Amino acid sequence: MNARTGLAFTAIIAASTLLPLHGSPAWAAQAAWPVKPVRVIVPFPPGGGSDFVMRTIAPQVSEGLGQQVLIDNRPGAQGVIGTQMVARAANDGYTLAVVDAGTVIMPLLMSPPPFDLIKEFSEVAILVENPFLVTIHPGLPAASMAEFVKLAQANPGKYNFGSGSANSHIAQAVFFSAARLKLTHVPYRGNGPLMVAALSNEVQVNFTGPGTVLPFARSGKLRLVAVTSIKRFREAPDAPTLDEVGFKGTDFRSWLGMLAPAGTPRPVIERLNGTINRALTTGQASQVLLERGYDLNPGPPEAFRRFLGSEFKRVSRAIKEFGIKNEP
């Protein structure tokens, strides 16, 4: 080894000791992440549960990251359009998606599938879980879920049910089929537009998350007649469960989580996960979400991945059993 080669070799060894423990050039470039605002795509219109949850935690997440979190509503195709944007984005941690069960459902209903949930995304965190609240229009001659079921059974095809998400659609299709109710499905591009339709009596019944519908139920603009969880809902303890009404074992839940493009560096995922989990367990955001009836279950990315796997199996069975089809 000549002197020049020896000096060069020594320089390489010395430089390598200064690299982060991750040892990856990709992570070396990300060591200061984030150095600019982080965009979170909400694939539904403003006014829905996903929008509400993200806007509630965004200030604390921004503070924790030291950069602004920008919320970008990109609705369309039951959340597919906005979610596709994230699948195709750079995997540098600056473009993320808030997703719901539609992320699992839509690839099972569309041909070809709009994206591959396993191959095209990295799990960041599960945000919230919640039951659906069953509300009917107060103009109906029904004061309870049992009375609504009798009314709908006596008038097949007369009433409409609305959905603002694929998960809500499937939950209602499964329930109304089991209850032998013939209702017409009216899909909307999100829960915000669905609430406009529900308030105007365009649809007479719907299953919706508490972040969207609870204020209208509390004000009497919609009538809360049941909840879809096995246990009663803590923010509306007088509302019976569907199990109590007579539909034994009924347990439908909704959830929201965050995804990043596949290949996002693991340290970025871990930073996001830790920051989000702190927002869900401390400070004002967690209190606001709890008051709206959300269950907060922070955990590692791996827990979200396992949860998505179980959801895929559950939804696949429901789609096959009840013959659920995609509706434009």
Whole-number mean pLDDT of the chain?
Answer: 89
Helices (H), 78-207: 80-87, 102-109, 145-154, 166-178, 191-199
Report whether the peptide linkage leading into residue 112 is cis, meaning its omega lies within 30 degrees of zero.
yes
Largest CA distance in the chain: 96
* pLDDT tens digit sequence for 38-83: 999 999 999 888 999 999 999 999 999 999 999 999 998 889 999 9
- What DSSP element (H or E) covers 308? helix 301-322
pLDDT on residue 203: 98
Domain 133-252 has CATH 3.40.190.10: yes
Is-contact 256 127, C-beta < 8 A? Answer: yes
List the chain domain ranges: 32-130+254-322, 133-252
DSSP 3-state assignment of 61? Answer: helix
- Whether the per-residue pLDDT at 88 is higher than 50: the answer is yes
Token code pair at residue 130: 């919640």
CA distance 201 to 206: 11
Of 162, 208, 154, residue with least CA distance to 182: 154
The beta-strand segments (E) located in 100-247 are 121-131, 133-136, 160-163, 184-187, 205-208, 223-227
Q: Does the pLDDT value for residue 317 go beyond 90?
A: no
Least confident piece of the model among 134-138, 267-271, 324-328 = 324-328
CATH superfamily ID and name for 32-130+254-322: Bordetella uptake gene, domain 1 (3.40.190.150)
